[in-house]
Amino acid sequence: MILCIDQVIPTELLSRVQATLADTAYRDGRETAGWHARTVKQNEQADGRQPEVIALREELTSALQRHPLFQMAARPRRMKPLMFSRYQEGMSYGNHVDDAVMATPEGAMRTDLSFTLFLNDPDSYEGGELLIDSTAGEQTYKLPAGALILYPSSTLHRVEPVTQGERLAAVGWAQSQVREPQQREILFDLDTTRRQEFEANGKTRTFDMLSKSLANLLRMWAEV
Ligand code: NI
């Protein structure tokens, strides 16, 4: 399942992120890539040791964890601290698959889900689309500032060359409480359906039974 969420963070936070990223130090993106991804990765990343960058990525991570749709789709157990990336004219990130296991301050985590939070106006740069290889073919995403795409870490994907302007994004990874994508999708569908039932008819018997099934499937599948 690939999910796009518009306005995943408040406008005020987005403006602060943009202001900070306009005025911070960047490092070569290859420093954080695996040995084979390094050969195709050409971008810059905000220096993760700067206090303002650390503070922002923590704030963004907790904003995402509070977002109901993100929570329902990802069911994060652990999250890798976000990275802020910048692609200037001529930069791109060729086809790669994200590392299956990544180091975090709390120890190693498995990457089940990858996400990109677009941080600047898509009309302000040319190119820079995120391209995800799926069984249905290649799908291209270039979202508005403040929108997020959540996709399986198991996919081959790339960022097309930026031919004009610059592309700013935050990227991150989650280990889900539910490892299997199909199980996560069933839980997401059930949760969506019970919320629709609640909105339409209130706390009905149908809502209660859907909630019970959701809770009991999660009980079977969750690793916490
Ligand atoms: Ni990637």
The two tokens of residue 13 are: 């936070």
Ligand 1 mean position, distance from CA 17 (Å): 21
96 CA distance to ligand 1 centroid (A)? Answer: 6
**How many Å lie between the centroid of ligand 1 and the Cα of residue 211?**
35
User: CB of 24 within 8 A of CB of 50?
Assistant: yes
CA of 187 to the centre of ligand 1 (A): 25
Q: How far is the CA of 72 from the centre of ligand 1 (A)?
A: 22
| CA 97 to ligand 1 centroid distance, Å | 6
Query: What are the boundaries of each domain within the chain?
Result: 3-176, 181-221
Residue 96 has pLDDT above 90, yes or no: yes
Interval between CA 98 and ligand 1 midpoint (Å):
5
The CA-CA-CA angle for residues 4, 112, 181, to 5°, reads 75
| pLDDT score, position 213 | 98
Going by pLDDT thresholds of 50, 70 and 90, the confidence category of residue 27 is very high
Q: What is the DSSP string of 167-193?
A: EEEEEEEEEESS--HHHHHHHHHHHHH
% of the chain beyond a pLDDT of 70:
100
Q: How far is the CA of 122 from the centre of ligand 1 (A)?
A: 19
Across all residues in the chain, what is the average pLDDT?
95
Q: What is the DSSP letter of 136?
A: T
Q: What burial class does residue 106 get, using C-beta atoms within 10 Å of its C-beta: 0-12 exposed, 13-18 middle, 19+ buried? A: exposed
Class of domain 3-176: mainly beta
65-95: pLDDT as tens digits: 999 999 999 999 999 989 999 999 999 999 9
Question: Ligand 1 center to residue 90 CA distance, Å?
Answer: 18
Task: Specify the pTM.
Answer: 0.94
Chain segment 140-185, per-residue pLDDT in tens: 999 999 999 999 999 999 999 999 999 999 999 999 999 999 999 9
CA of 23 to the centre of ligand 1 (A): 25
What pLDDT is recorded for position 31? Answer: 87
